[in-house]
Structure 1
């Protein structure tokens, strides 16, 4: 994961700036999350995946420990050229399967309603929207969402 960290940070910063108008504070947040994951993750309970096509990274997803019973899905991203290929579903299924094997009883995630394709995928996989509220984050007015799923 050490070698993939810069790609994860760069892609999040670039795509969210381009597609959602996020400012540089979002890239700094992702950089802190990735650095913390690389430095401190417990591989029994946390994992990250970078999917490749022909040797080029196309997407990523991370499962991190929120507490003993709860995993948090983080940094889920699929490059535009890989969207619609099923890669997002494969990454999400892999992450959720890992969380089940690691013994988590539920998963949570935080996103924005503008990520309609990802939200549709969450709903299709059985996730429930637990909170939705307008916020001003990363230099933009957004609608922040929280989602959750029982794993057991």
Structure 2
């Protein structure tokens, strides 16, 4: 038997191009998936750091609870908070690494005129990591109020 001269052997150019396109599309998808995974892991790391920084600030305020509870004016509280914030910022080098933050008291000294054993200081701490992070972490810090001092 003679081989048929019209019978095709091998692949056509269209089949090779389609196969190349499918493989390229799959590889590009894998690279993009890896990139998004790394970005999400970085954002999760930044969120974890923001939580640790907030916890550190709360512990600093709690360590000075006796001083905080003796303050009699809101301006004294703001000065105290600014001093704590500056030390906290210097210890963690937040500004030099692109982090932004703000802390403000949500309670005032006048809130404690009638001592209630369940009172507490309340501060709002907003920490925003550097780009590519999209949103800040806002934490409310609660510090016990001890009406009779320490």
TM range (shorter): under 0.3
Bigger proportion of residues as strand? 1
- Structure number having the greater helix percentage: 2
TM value normalised by structure 1: 0.25
Larger relative contact order (C-alpha < 8 A, sep ≥ 6)? 2
Question: Which has the larger Rg?
Answer: 2
